[in-house]
Structure 1
């Protein structure tokens, strides 16, 4: 995914924006993944030290996504009012504090409360970042930008395991367990990141001191271009009908199935590796980083291919079905090395497809619809983050094998492939309707207002 070459004002401004914005956004998103998945490393220790069962762990891991999903749309509507810089900083400061407070977990109930509070605190982070992408980058660059942003969770999975494993080696220091040190220190780091966001992240191109006036204007103009007609589909004071468009619902449901697989596997990788006779918190954490290696390959490779062969529904369909094949092979082999490699391949597919999801959605949204619609898709999708760990926990309780959840992966992946066929029809229908709206507008109005201006009237 090459950064656009130096050229006219827009190309120069895009390169500057990528170099200045993406490190800050990626830093925040990196810590979000570290903080939401670090309990995977603590799983067996919470069982031994606090008495949290496998089923209770699966439920608690998933409860994060319940409050996260429920508050996505309200959070992003507030973000639209106050601006992404302050809102992303607020989110980071809040979830960092909650992460540190999770060191005081002492039973199932406090574990559930901590996970739900963490989800509530983090709600709105990702759609707020996607909203910024729609304000700063042209549609042709968004799949690349989103792919770079997804490097953050990939690196979170790659580096978060060794980091958490190293912190857990502090066991018994000053009378605290290693997992307590992990929660405390990682939460404090996140709060520092929140202050960095507040200090360095500009709200919009016009606020960036490192852009010239011409460069800022070029970014804003190109970001809005191509979304005008899709913005016209917004029904004033009726965002519910905008959410009900078939392509939005289908992307959300396919994302839901993707998240069942992704989070079900992610929250159980350390215990799967332990079941392969690997011991030691740091070594388990290090090997768990295979998900990060796979994810990094996926978010770099798949968007690059998609830019050259932009077949939307076909790409989503192939990437939806492929995890079923990987899961079947995983269940058929017994070699520890092969199983760890297949977990990495699973991450290539599940993480690599996400930039494509968001590029397809952002091409058809702008303004307040982008703020609320992207949050709505994330809400539907991330409920899979609750279902996945919970189903994996039930499967392990029944079988005693943490890898038994791969049967669930096969089922949900095949369903996702079927929905991709329906998505193809929905996207064609959406684009035909959009073309008709554009033609009607062109013949009845002398000069349509930019989509962002029209959409700004929707929010009361």
Structure 2
């Protein structure tokens, strides 16, 4: 009898695996393309900063302010955007904001001064604010916990991939300078922004809101996937309810999502995003300072090395995390290594050792994101999920504003990136310690449950 039940469970698990693989093929890779263009339209202004500033007469401060304005509006509109997603559905709302940011990003090509640039970047920030938290929430509606970290890894692959390839593609587009009377940087915004309008229309037409709406899933596959997700949600609600004693209900409904788990997750994400932002903004200059005689081509290849290492580490860590169903140590250990990596890059003299340190830091930032969001989802109940994910994403991305100004200011004062990298190191260690509180609590709950079973 027991053998027969085990065989049935194995058959169900196999059917679920096959269904999830189909969702990967039909849905996840399309979402990856969406995120690649989202991230590209977020960071491409950095690739053309020199040319853009020269043509618009921008100072370094005013150019930096354009980036800051983007993130201010990105942060402020994250939660309202998720509220609209909950009201209108993923297909309508995500399709709408993709079209809006595609048009706005393309219009950056026609900015004529600081004011027009600030207005356009604000609109891009407002539109993009809901995409990442909305997609992270959307993934939880399609991938069970046993597959979620790997799904997040494929989605998060967009960031290191875009950072690596985006500079090369943008460099080629800049060669269109003078074509049809437009500058190279204007072509960059047009050619990297307008495809989003097409993608937004495809989202409107094709993106299913839930597995039940997917025409490419059979009725049997829909039932398997929906049942797995519903059973998982019931089990998680019971676990979180017993762990919290349902104390959250005493809070005002508007702020019910602001519990201890959400706040600690936001702190961890702030620390992770700090490193990611530092890698995107400052690593090219750090490498150029470490190897002052290197050509721009060689510098570009060296900058790509940490991202290539990250891509490999990202898939390995997320696959292993799903296989073992463990999230805490898979985040804690890389963050400790990332903190050590920043210290290596800051204080070791050999260029090769500095590069190893940058690889560790880059790996710690980007490769832990997929695991972190799987862990964060498991830590939030269904009522807290919409606002909780948006709050974590908003607070985390405020790290980019802080690090952009702080590290630049420290560089001007000390004429070195070393203190700025120490800042990144400290936050990696702080984030790891916060993750440790989750791990210790989980171990305590397991020991308590084991004791109750023994009794």
Q: TM-score range with shorter-chain normalisation?
A: 0.7 to 0.9
Query: Aligned equivalents of 2:350 and 2:117: distance in 1?
Result: 34
Superposed, which structure 2 residues align to 1:429-440 within 5 Å?
none
Q: Is the 8 A contact 1:67 1:119 kept in 2?
A: yes
Higher relative contact order, chain-length normalized (CA < 8 Å, sep 6+):
1
Superposed, which structure 2 residues align to 1:263-302 within 5 Å?
263-275=277-289, 276-277=292-293, 288-302=303-317
SS in 2 for 1:261: helix
Could you say which residue in structure 2 is the equivalent of 1:357?
A: 372
Once the two structures are TM-superposed, the CA of residue 165 in structure 1 deviates from its matched residue by 1.3
Could you say which residue in structure 1 is the equivalent of 2:188?
A: 182
Once the two structures are TM-superposed, the CA of residue 7 in structure 1 deviates from its matched residue by 6.3
Superposed, which structure 2 residues align to 1:286-435 within 5 Å?
288-333=303-348, 339-340=354-355, 342-365=357-380, 367-401=382-416, 405-425=420-440
Once the two structures are TM-superposed, the CA of residue 399 in structure 1 deviates from its matched residue by 4.2
Query: Aligned equivalents of 1:103 and 1:371: distance in 2?
Result: 34
Could you say which residue in structure 2 is the equivalent of 1:256?
A: 270
Q: Is the 8 A contact 1:37 1:267 kept in 2?
A: no
Query: Aligned equivalents of 1:25 and 1:256: distance in 2?
Result: 24
The CA deviation string for residues 265-289 of structure 1, in whole angstroms up to 9 with x for no partner, is 2023344455545555x77666544
1:170 aligns with 2:176: yes
Q: Is the 8 A contact 2:236 2:381 kept in 1?
A: yes
Q: Is the 8 A contact 2:96 2:200 kept in 1?
A: yes
The CA deviation string for residues 211-254 of structure 1, in whole angstroms up to 9 with x for no partner, is 11121121111112222254465749944454222121111111
TM-score of the superposed pair, with normalisation by structure 2? 0.84
Aligned residues: 430
- Give the structure with the higher percent helix: 2
1:49 aligns with 2:39: no
The CA deviation string for residues 362-397 of structure 1, in whole angstroms up to 9 with x for no partner, is 123354432222112112211112222222232333
Once the two structures are TM-superposed, the CA of residue 188 in structure 1 deviates from its matched residue by 0.8
Q: Is the 8 A contact 2:106 2:193 kept in 1?
A: yes
SS in 1 for 2:364: helix
1:66 aligns with 2:80: no
Query: Aligned equivalents of 1:241 and 1:429: distance in 2?
Result: 28
Query: Aligned equivalents of 1:7 and 1:180: distance in 2?
Result: 51
| Structure 1 segments unaligned to the other structure (5+ residues) | 436-460
Query: Aligned equivalents of 2:445 and 2:137: distance in 1?
Result: 21
Superposed, which structure 2 residues align to 1:204-223 within 5 Å?
204-223=210-229
Could you say which residue in structure 1 is the equivalent of 2:119?
A: 113
Could you say which residue in structure 1 is the equivalent of 2:258?
A: 244
Could you say which residue in structure 1 is the equivalent of 2:147?
A: 141
The CA deviation string for residues 383-418 of structure 1, in whole angstroms up to 9 with x for no partner, is 112222222232333345567632321222232233
Once the two structures are TM-superposed, the CA of residue 109 in structure 1 deviates from its matched residue by 3.9
| Structure 2 segments unaligned to the other structure (5+ residues) | 1-9, 450-455
Query: Aligned equivalents of 2:424 and 2:269: distance in 1?
Result: 14
SS in 1 for 2:208: coil
Q: Is the 8 A contact 2:133 2:390 kept in 1?
A: yes
Once the two structures are TM-superposed, the CA of residue 89 in structure 1 deviates from its matched residue by 1.3
TM-score of the superposed pair, with normalisation by structure 1? 0.83
Query: Aligned equivalents of 2:288 and 2:370: distance in 1?
Result: 31
Query: Aligned equivalents of 1:51 and 1:400: distance in 2?
Result: 26
Once the two structures are TM-superposed, the CA of residue 100 in structure 1 deviates from its matched residue by 1.0
Q: Over aligned residue pairs, what C-alpha RMSD do you find?
A: 3.1
